[in-house]
Chains A and B, each alone.
Chain A
Amino acid sequence: MTKVLDIPKVNAKNMTEKEFFYGHKACAGCGGSIAVRLALKVLGERTYSALPAGCMSAVGFIYPQMAFNSNAIITTFPGSASMAAGIAAGAKALGQKDFKTVVFAGDGGTADIGFQALSGMIDRNDDVLYICYDNEAYMNTGIQKSGLTPYGTKTTTTPAGKNIPGTITHKKNLFEIIAAHDIAYAATASIGYPQDFINKVNKAKHVKGATFIHVYASCPTGWGTPTETSVEIAKDAVDAGLIFLAEYEDGEYKLNRNPKEFKSVEEYLKKQGRFKHMSDADIQCVIENRDKKWERMRKNWL
């Protein structure tokens, strides 16, 4: 495991000026495109990007507009992890060196339909960095509920009405499930803390074998938020404790941020169209769930 101190840091001042995700058709203010763009700037030119069906592939490759300025391919929807594994294996067999294979998949393509392939990829320890940009629903197909849609969200398949308050399940513990594979390196991140995300991509870049980053990426269209607040809302989610920043490496969990006090959950929720309908009881449920989770994390991961 490369020591953190040995990896040269990447920031806005010294990162490559090249843009590898440019001219795409994502919505104005798209959080997912911030994640993809920054990750590619860290990974550089010698990268193979694999993307399943989802927002980032849908906006990046509409013939003849090719928005990826380095090698990129759209994969089968359930098979992004396996297609990337095949790319890594093929390139290795051809004797290629000093390159990175990366997947950019949404929460649907990762935690739901793509889950099996991802698990297989980690099992085989394929040399692939898998980045899940989580906008908490199947955004590309019109904002339907995914396995990572949080409790109380109004989506087009979990409408909020008199009888049911939107989504009644909680987010899958994706990070913990991936860590349970005993992966070499896994991390959670948010575009609201961009330098932390960049650092984590940079770290994963230097790890051989399967690595995973779960990055919280806001969606103004699906969340009902103004386009200019995409980064701010992703930061608010972390500050309210609904999203945590952590890493799993060398067999151990590490909580990166452990705030003494959380910002208001209610304020965070009420800023977004998808949560506007929530009752006080619903909000209380969210807060209790957060507290339970943090109690567990603080007990085991510090």
Chain B
Amino acid sequence: MKTNKIFISGDEAVAQGVKLSRPHVVAAYPITPQTITVERLSEMVEAGEMDAEYMHVESEHSAISATMGASAVGARTFTASSSQGLLYMAEGLHYCSGGRWPVVMMNANRSVALPWSIYGDQRDSLSLLDSGWIQVYVEDAQEALDMIIQAYKIAEHKDVLTPMMVNLDGFILTHTYELVEIPDQEMVDQFLPPFETPNKMSFENPKNLGFSSRPDDNTEFKYQQNEAMFNAIDVIRKTDEDFTEMFGRKYHGMVEEYMCEDADVVLVALGSVCGTVRVVVDKLRAEGKKVGLLKIRYMRPFPVEEVKDLAKRVKAMGVIDKDISFGYEGTVYTNVNSAISQIDKYVYKSNFIGGLGGRDITKAEIEDMYNKLYAGLENKSEETVEFFSLNVEGND
């Protein structure tokens, strides 16, 4: 297999993945830090490298509306957004998943106003877990490119037909340069068949789409949607295996366990911070501590089985949340807790809130998290929800 590695940013890697997936329509509104992706895509169209209709939509709401319109006639589509834009199209996200149109979107995880911040955290997409989209969180630019291609295959599967969001940490991933392997177009064409769906308007078989339902019927449509999300679990696993077989790179499915086989204490995290955690795990392992990392890749559908399985084997789990559901806890923590509550075993848990508005999560802070988990386990402490990197004294 010939290799073709180029030195590009996460945003650019996404654009490369989109080009390889051969979308028919691209409609996206620029927003920092996703702008490079939409700019590169326009360059590809101009150069004749990508044969897609590029729509200069005038807002994110129009971006999602336009992509849904195109998907509704059977076209493969792509859009991209971040924070304010993602939330502006929030009604469209529910509309799209309910409409069962397999749109693929790249979301650059960025803090949501107020206060304004262009820097990364995961509050935008985590606040939209209920919108019915499949959500994956990538760790580096290579995974970003690869997941765009996988996203089309998963979303367009006849048992799924659900839109999918590929999340990249803003600036940390979107703007950092890495060596990325660009897959061969022919191989991608083999991996990704053309988009077929019964759920479209056509002149051969005219349909009425996007209709209203009465109380007698609405529940059944929602049940179907839920089932489709659960169907996605098998499709995700199979697609991941098929991808490894064709392209060589392995992503391990819904989650990736790093050094968890005999771990006592693990941290759970999403996205780019996993890279930093791996380094800390290696350091602590060298010191003889049995620690590990659970990288959650998919937040929806949620990897309940994988989380339960790990919880049965470990003594303590800390969850890093680059978000906060005000007045309660981090959203990843809530989801993990719900899974752990299904097993009949005590696990010491703690929620570490940080990385908000672009604040770095340092190796020292991560090491500190492991130490706190060990201490909490030993002292049988209460589980805590902690803003671990507050720069000032708090009130409690």
Q: What residues make up the interface of A, taking CB atoms closer than 8 Å to B?
A: 45-46, 48, 50, 58, 60-63, 66, 68-76, 78-94, 96, 99, 116-117, 119-120, 123-124, 126
Closest B residue, CB atoms, query A53 = B212
Residue among A62, A80, A89, A117 with max Cβ neighbours from chain B (10 Å) = A89
The interface residues of chain A lying within 8 Å CB-to-CB of B41 are: none
- Can you give 13 contacting A-B residue pairs, CB < 8 Å? A61-B212, A62-B214, A70-B206, A73-B210, A74-B209, A79-B66, A83-B66, A86-B55, A86-B68, A89-B53, A94-B73, A117-B62, A124-B55
The answer to whether A45 and B203 touch across the interface, beta carbons within 8 angstroms, is yes
The answer to whether A71 and B206 touch across the interface, beta carbons within 8 angstroms, is yes
Closest A residue, CB atoms, query B212 = A62
The interface residues of chain A lying within 8 Å CB-to-CB of B208 are: 60-61, 66, 68, 71-73
Can you add 7 more A-B contacts, CB < 8 Å, to A63-B213, A94-B75? A45-B203, A63-B217, A73-B72, A76-B91, A79-B66, A86-B77, A91-B75
In the assembled complex, the CB of B391 is this many whole angstroms from the nearest CB of chain A, namely: 40
Cα A120 to Cα B59 in complex, Å, equals: 9
For A87, give its contact among B57, B64, B69, B214 (CB under 8 Å): B69
Q: A83-B69, A90-B77 are in contact. Are A66 and B211 (CB under 8 A)?
A: yes
Determine if B85 is an interface residue (Cβ-Cβ < 8 Å).
Answer: no
The answer to whether A76 and B92 touch across the interface, beta carbons within 8 angstroms, is yes
The interface residues of chain A lying within 8 Å CB-to-CB of B201 are: 48, 71-73, 87
Q: A45-B203, A90-B24 are in contact. Are A116 and B58 (CB under 8 A)?
A: yes
Determine if B312 is an interface residue (Cβ-Cβ < 8 Å).
Answer: no
For A50, give its contact among B52, B53, B69, B212 (CB under 8 Å): B69
Closest B residue, CB atoms, query A50 = B69
The interface residues of chain B lying within 8 Å CB-to-CB of A46 are: 203
Among all A-B residue pairs, the 6 with the closest Cβ atoms: A86-B69, A79-B65, A90-B70, A120-B58, A90-B75, A86-B66
For B69, give its contact among A58, A66, A90 (CB under 8 Å): A90
Cα A48 to Cα B62 in complex, Å, equals: 18
The answer to whether A93 and B75 touch across the interface, beta carbons within 8 angstroms, is yes
Q: A73-B209, A90-B77, A120-B57 are in contact. Are A83 and B65 (CB under 8 A)?
A: yes
Interface size class of B (residues with CB under 8 A): 35 or more
Q: A61-B208, A71-B201 are in contact. Are A76 and B70 (CB under 8 A)?
A: no
Closest B residue, CB atoms, query A66 = B208
The interface residues of chain A lying within 8 Å CB-to-CB of B258 are: none
Q: A83-B65, A86-B65, A93-B75 are in contact. Are A123 and B214 (CB under 8 A)?
A: no
Cα A89 to Cα B52 in complex, Å, equals: 9
The answer to whether B53 and A93 touch across the interface, beta carbons within 8 angstroms, is yes
The interface residues of chain A lying within 8 Å CB-to-CB of B56 are: 124
Determine if B74 is an interface residue (Cβ-Cβ < 8 Å).
Answer: yes
Q: What residues make up the interface of B, taking CB atoms closer than 8 Å to A?
A: 24-25, 27, 51-53, 55-59, 61-75, 77, 91-92, 95, 201-203, 206-214, 217
Q: A76-B95, A120-B59 are in contact. Are A61 and B210 (CB under 8 A)?
A: yes
The answer to whether B66 and A63 touch across the interface, beta carbons within 8 angstroms, is no
The interface residues of chain A lying within 8 Å CB-to-CB of B207 are: 71
Q: A71-B201, A75-B65, A120-B58 are in contact. Are A93 and B52 (CB under 8 A)?
A: yes
The answer to whether B66 and A89 touch across the interface, beta carbons within 8 angstroms, is yes
Cα A85 to Cα B72 in complex, Å, equals: 12
In the assembled complex, the CB of B212 is this many whole angstroms from the nearest CB of chain A, namely: 5
Closest A residue, CB atoms, query B203 = A46
The answer to whether B65 and A63 touch across the interface, beta carbons within 8 angstroms, is no
Cα A91 to Cα B70 in complex, Å, equals: 7
The interface residues of chain A lying within 8 Å CB-to-CB of B209 are: 72-74
Closest A residue, CB atoms, query B55 = A89
The interface residues of chain B lying within 8 Å CB-to-CB of A96 are: 73, 203
Closest B residue, CB atoms, query A59 = B212
The answer to whether B24 and A63 touch across the interface, beta carbons within 8 angstroms, is no
The interface residues of chain B lying within 8 Å CB-to-CB of A58 are: 212
The interface residues of chain B lying within 8 Å CB-to-CB of A62 are: 211-214
The interface residues of chain B lying within 8 Å CB-to-CB of A94 are: 24, 73-75
In the assembled complex, the CB of B77 is this many whole angstroms from the nearest CB of chain A, namely: 7
Residue among B57, B67, B91 with max Cβ neighbours from chain A (10 Å) = B57
For A82, give its contact among B24, B66, B75 (CB under 8 Å): B66
In the assembled complex, the CB of B62 is this many whole angstroms from the nearest CB of chain A, namely: 4
The interface residues of chain B lying within 8 Å CB-to-CB of A124 are: 55-56
The interface residues of chain A lying within 8 Å CB-to-CB of B69 are: 50, 73, 75, 82-90
The answer to whether A117 and B58 touch across the interface, beta carbons within 8 angstroms, is yes
Closest A residue, CB atoms, query B65 = A79
The answer to whether B71 and A90 touch across the interface, beta carbons within 8 angstroms, is yes
Cα A84 to Cα B64 in complex, Å, equals: 12
In the assembled complex, the CB of A20 is this many whole angstroms from the nearest CB of chain B, namely: 9
In the assembled complex, the CB of B61 is this many whole angstroms from the nearest CB of chain A, namely: 6
The answer to whether B25 and A79 touch across the interface, beta carbons within 8 angstroms, is no
The answer to whether B57 and A82 touch across the interface, beta carbons within 8 angstroms, is yes
The answer to whether B214 and A82 touch across the interface, beta carbons within 8 angstroms, is no
Cα A74 to Cα B59 in complex, Å, equals: 20
Closest A residue, CB atoms, query B67 = A86
In the assembled complex, the CB of A48 is this many whole angstroms from the nearest CB of chain B, namely: 6
Residue among A74, A85, A96 with max Cβ neighbours from chain B (10 Å) = A85
The interface residues of chain A lying within 8 Å CB-to-CB of B68 are: 76, 83, 86
The answer to whether A117 and B214 touch across the interface, beta carbons within 8 angstroms, is no
Closest B residue, CB atoms, query A69 = B206
For A90, give its contact among B74, B210, B211 (CB under 8 Å): B74
The interface residues of chain B lying within 8 Å CB-to-CB of A48 are: 73, 201
The answer to whether A71 and B66 touch across the interface, beta carbons within 8 angstroms, is no
